[in-house]
Chains A and B, each alone.
Chain A
Amino acid sequence: MTFSALAQAGLLLLAVRLLAAPLGEYLARVFDDRARGATRLFGPLERLLLRLAGDAASKDSMSWQGYAAALLAFNAAGMLLLYALLRAQALLPLNPGHHHGLPPLLALNTAVSFVTNTNWQAYAAETTVSHLAQAAGLAVWNFLSAATGLAALAAIARGFAGRDTTGLGNFWRDLVRVTVHVLLPLSLVLALVLVSQGVVQSWSGEAPIAPLQPAAMGTALPLGPVASQVAIKQLGTNGGGFYNANSAHPFENPTPLSNFLECLAILLLPAACCFAFGALVRDRRQGRALFAVMLVIFLPLMLVALGGEQASIPALTQSGVDQAAGPWQGGGHLEGKEVRFGAGGTALWAAATTAASNGSVNGLHGSLTPAATLVTLGLMQTGEVVFGGVGSGVYGLLAFLVIAVFLAGLMIGRAPEYLGKKLEAREMKLAALAILLPAAAVLLGTAVACAVPAGAGAVLNPGARAFSEILYAFTSGANNNGSALAGLDAARGFYTVGLAIAMLVGRYWVIVPMLALAGSLACRKAAPPSSGSLSTHAPLFVLFLAATVLIVGALTFAPALALGPVVEMFRLGAS
């Protein structure tokens, strides 16, 4: 590990911590409808949108069933529209690249992917999707899928904080508020800063360039409304790039500063969600504790990834390659990385993008060392609760928290309670479902892919690597991450459909049980804390919750990981 890599990591986490707390407060105020200063600025837009929503947004508070139904209906309608747009893009304007409509299964996969906040891309965007589809379809759902996650978190937090109520808030109001007051302004600012760094923002098709070598691949570089889409793809844990190379592409991520800011944007809102939760349940210590849990898991894994990428590859050392860091080079394993970010900058991003369910990349994950691959897989297999998606990270962590509170509560001899509310069989069932189903989707999806020729035949590499690729694909899909290990012909029918199912399971089979859990907690009485109750903000409980997340993840995926990256790791060490 080099000093510069550690300094980058330290600076990043410090910035996240400093910015996330006030942003979380602000988020909570937006959801509580207490954002006075901001209302003056964005109030007119909010009122316009709410007027368009009409009666639906006027109803004061929805039950959990009502909230879930509105959320599902909205997302389903989004998928249909997005599917239609992608299929019909050839007939619509703003298609300077003259791209054809997407084939049905690919359009389905893409629509599901963007609406579920996964942004798994089974295509090369710049050569497949028109500007209109990028801007009016994909970028719009970059906003709305993030807003969906945040709205769900707000509703769930209201349930945890509720006193004798059945209402979790109004989905339409939450959706409009968080989009208008949080996502739009943040994206606007980030997009402008990115443009200042050289990220392109244009409606024209291509910029012709003179190739250095006559035989070079293209003589034109595709342009487009990039900065506006990159900003929200990073902020909203979406990760779907304008270019196939994603944030490794110089037009998406040109400078070390843009790299730092985009990396910060990956973690910012998921981290802020912890603090927002604390503010929404009127116990800020709980928010800080959730953030601490995430940090406790993230920090060591990030260091493993940094160390793995910075280490020398024995086989390369034997052929006389100097991989050591020195005054003239960053050192480390540079295959599949941009030299302007170096091994450290890429490893840090890889850890951040898989911890948060972002999935954007600034290097090729397929070229990561096995140690870093293990980290990326592991971070996703925690169920994307270490930062995780915007909103979804925190409510996913709450499912683990219910289990941890249950066990810790028993161990101190009390019926388990969180925020003064008893957790009983129903909560247990719902939390178990929210953890079980995405994990099952990963395990079963991978198993089917291994067993049927359509899945097993799509791998382009031999042995353990092939298995890692399949496992990574389903892990990424079912946890709504969206990054890929590549090496897999993901455009095949089996994977487009299989991963679409995994993405749907991973998104809605967490949201709905957690909304139901919040619904049942909302009408429960809360007992004031006493010296005998479990303090869920104490360091001891933070460690216990982190251990619960890690142990559940490890027990579920250890055999699969052993067959993939762990074997690769030992092979690499032995070579």
Chain B
Amino acid sequence: MTRESAERADTRRTLYARRPPAAVQLAAAGREALRKLDPRVLHHNPVLFVVATGAALTTALWLTALAGRESETPASFIGGIAFWLWLTVIFGNLAEALAEGRGRAHAESLRRTRAQTTALRLREPRTDAARDEVAAGDLRRDDVVIVEAGGIIPADGEVVEGAAAVDESAITGESAPVIREAGGDRSAVTGGTRVLSDRLVVRITAPAGEGFLDRMIRLVEGARRQKTPNEIALGILLAALTIIFLLVSATLVPYSGFVARAGGQGGAVDLTVIVALLVCLMPTTIGGLLSAIGIAGMDRLLRANVVATSGRAVEAAGDVGVLLLDKTGTITLGDRQATAFVPAPGVAARDLAQAAQLASLADETPEGRSVVVLAKEQFGLRARELSPGDAVFVPFSAQTRMSGIDVDGHTLRKGAADAIAVFLAERGGALPAEIRAGIARVAKLGATPLVVADGARALGMVVLKDVVKGGLQLEFEEMRRLGIRTVMITGDNPLTAAAIAAEAGVDDFIAEAKPETKLAEIRRWQQAGHLVAMTGDGTNDAPALAQADVAVVMNSGTQAAKEAGNMVDLDSNPTKLLAIVGIGKRLLMTRGALTTFSIASDIAKYFAIIPAAFAANCPELGALDLMRLGSPQSAILSAVIFNALIIVALVPVALRGVSYRPAASAVLLRRHLLVYGLGGLILPFPCIKLIDLLLGFLGIGGVA
């Protein structure tokens, strides 16, 4: 599965299916765009603010021209420029509003689940303690509440007593209930979710307004979106360009005035033309789209069912050098499966399979079930219907590490090699040398041997293997191409770990890992200058998660883990990290590509505006008018109109992100330079010419 399809597949289960139709979205965004003209809102975007100032200035010039002021240029031209400058600002606002609007529907549905609930607060953390009914909003940290079946959990917290099925679809979109219980790694509950059965005693960890749901709402609405370091740096570049172009445009007044005096023809360039030039040169394309790109990036992440609590982490995801992956659940399916029967000398494989199947009937673990299935697949053995009267089942337990059955005078047992060895010894038997050798061989291959015994006699082995997920090798290969190193972490012994690592195609592995090992490993990579990403869910992962640059926590994880990480994956899917990396990269690429486009397109605008602006002083510069535009005024107007329309034209790119397929950096750079750099150089020429022709056709802009 490629990353994008993973992203899409995850999307289906989110609340995003419910999105208002495009026209409704657009209308809402349009209203919002006008509201954003308020200078108090606008000043957050310096580029658009300068454009708005220019628009206000030209509007004033237009009004005075209408009132009879002597002007080099007709009032209709000034009015036209003013109109399109206002549109430029509105288009920029519209992009942002559209991006915000996409998240708003999600926020609304989240907010509904946060509807006023009441909570039963316990005076003491016991089920039978006295209860007070309080509003959910009045809960404080460390209050203890009880939630009965059917009740809504009033705030984020940790289960201190009980176990229950909880419906978390309000947040995850996943309708299957999940089990939440005290102790262990599944103790965290989220405010707004519903308890379906039993009851829970919950200690509140985040009071109302600071909970997960609230953070999510704020995030999707873009209200508390903090600018990332990268966005700030880009903002500085855009501000520097704006200042340069402000100087370039403003100094043209004395320049052209001087040339006019010294050359004896023409006059200083008209103020309207100066403002038009300024707006065309300023990076309005990226300036107008910048915040939309950021919001849309977070939105893409949400649609992949990931909640990022820090925008910095999203960017860092694009930059990760090392990926620490837990073996269990991430690289392997997590359950060992029986893959082969190895009979002892003198035992038929079929007999071994039958004995193993019988001995596993009482083993409800996935491993036990897989033995039954394998016997059926390989030898067509059906699990016999045995009534309790015929046989005595010995269920699997973690203490005995065996399961078995006493039937027809046979004492069949299946279990870990050392447990069976003890069982045989008790009956005067022993493991034959062949089996002992087999055990060593199987362990070396990264598999786990189980031994089957009948009384004092060992029948043979069942080989259990941790099955590596399909398609992972391709994923890791992709990572390698992106320069990301994958490291598998496992508690297995080095032999097993090496075998699985080789099969999955990871670059490296750490065997017999303890929580401290993870932390030390992350520090080591960071010391070498890498950004490290990891996934985790348990409380014992928390220190490592806090240390990692990108820490994705499973929604099923503990509160401590969630607080230590900077992203929560609502699907609890550990391979989601790959999708997150893609989203982070796409976010950065979109910014880079549109900035490059924005700057490159200035060249063409110069060819339109310079000959036009200096037409009176230096008619010779008409030779620079490569596009042969209708008249100086329509040339300038065409450039301004192009400048405004290109923002709208690029809104889809900003919202969707540039297309991204993992590739080597050189390939990506070449592709984006060709499309957005060269495209930015060339595209404006035909577009401006077209607009100019259209203006001429409509009779706007005057004729030279």
Residues of chain A having any CB pair with chain B under 8 Å: 403, 406-416, 420, 423-425, 427-429, 432-433, 435-436, 439-440, 443-444, 446-448, 450-451, 456, 459, 462-464, 466-467, 470, 525-528, 530-535, 538, 540-541, 544, 547, 551, 554-560, 562-563, 566-567, 570-571, 574
Contact = CB atoms under 8 A, between A and B. Distances in A.
Interface stretch (B150-158, B393-401, B555-563, B587-595): B587-595
- The SS class assigned to the B binding surface is helix
Nearest to A569: B620
B417 to A, nearest CB: 43
Nearest to A466: B262
Interface stretch (B100-108, B128-136, B596-604): B596-604
Given A411-B589, A436-B240, A463 B672 contact: no
List of 6 A-B pairs having minimum Cβ-Cβ separation, nearest first: A532-B483, A410-B592, A413-B585, A530-B483, A527-B529, A432-B240
A555 B244 contact: yes
B113 to A, nearest CB: 35
Interface string B571-595: 0000000000000111011011101
A424 B230 CA distance: 7
A535 B603 contact: no
A525 B321 contact: no
Given A447-B254, A456-B258, A528-B528, A412 B668 contact: yes
Contact of A566 (B528, B617, B621): B621
Contact of B255 (A423, A532, A547, A559): A559
B243 A562 contact: no
A443 B589 contact: no
B248 A556 contact: yes
Given A424-B229, A570-B623, A527 B262 contact: no
Given A436-B240, A525-B529, A560-B251, A410 B589 contact: yes
- The SS class assigned to the A binding surface is helix
Contact of B263 (A425, A433, A448, A462): A462
B491 interface: no
Given A412-B669, A428-B234, 11 more contacts: A403-B237, A411-B596, A411-B668, A425-B229, A425-B236, A432-B239, A527-B531, A530-B483, A532-B665, A533-B665, A559-B248
B610 A533 contact: no
B620 A570 contact: yes
10 contacts: A411-B672, A415-B319, A432-B236, A432-B240, A444-B247, A462-B264, A533-B483, A538-B666, A560-B248, A560-B251
Q: Which of the listed residues A412, A428, A459, A551 has the most CB atoms from chain B within 10 Å of its own CB?
A: A412
A543 to B, nearest CB: 9
Contacts of A538: 666
A406 B592 CA distance: 8
Interface string B44-57: 00000000000000
B281 interface: yes
Nearest to B589: A413
Contact of A532 (B484, B586, B623): B484
Nearest to A415: B319
A407 B244 contact: no
Given A409-B592, A451-B254, A560-B251, A551 B262 contact: no
B635 to A, nearest CB: 14
B230 A415 contact: yes
B610 A439 contact: no
B319 A429 contact: no
Contact of B315 (A415, A423, A425, A456): A415
A413 B665 CA distance: 9
A408 B610 contact: no
B665 A531 contact: yes
B37 interface: no
Interface in B516-574: 527-531
B143 to A, nearest CB: 42
B262 A462 contact: yes
A25 to B, nearest CB: 27
B673 interface: yes
Given A414-B319, A527-B529, A551-B599, A559 B263 contact: no
A424 B251 contact: no
Contacts of B676: 411
Given A415-B316, A424-B229, A555-B602, A567 B620 contact: yes
B244 A436 contact: yes
Q: Which of the listed residues A413, A533, A563 has the most CB atoms from chain B within 10 Å of its own CB?
A: A413
A353 B588 CA distance: 40
Contacts of A555: 244-245, 248, 281, 599, 602-603, 606
A416 B233 CA distance: 10
Contacts of A463: 259, 262-264
Nearest to B594: A410
Contact of A411 (B281, B603, B623, B673): B673
B589 A412 contact: yes
B379 interface: no
B318 A464 contact: no
B258 A451 contact: yes
A544 B673 contact: yes
Contacts of B86: none
A139 B244 CA distance: 36
B665 A414 contact: yes
A165 to B, nearest CB: 15
A443 B620 contact: no
B232 A415 contact: no
A563 B618 contact: yes
B422 to A, nearest CB: 51
B296 to A, nearest CB: 15
Q: Which of the listed residues A439, A450, A459 has the most CB atoms from chain B within 10 Å of its own CB?
A: A450
B112 interface: no
A534 B236 CA distance: 22
A413 B259 contact: no
Contacts of B240: 432-433, 435-436
A464 B259 contact: yes
Interface string B289-328: 0000000000000000000000000011011010000000
Contact of B595 (A407, A428, A544, A563): A407
A435 B233 CA distance: 15
B669 A527 contact: no
A464 B588 contact: no
B624 interface: yes
B482 interface: yes
A540 B673 contact: yes
A571 B620 contact: yes
Q: Which of the listed residues B229, B258, B624 has the most CB atoms from chain A within 10 Å of its own CB?
A: B258
Nearest to A568: B620
A494 to B, nearest CB: 14
A528 B322 CA distance: 12
Contact of B621 (A410, A416, A557, A567): A567
B182 interface: no
A534 B247 contact: no
Nearest to A450: B258
Contacts of B225: none
A411 B677 CA distance: 10
Contacts of A525: 527, 529
B262 A467 contact: yes
A503 to B, nearest CB: 19
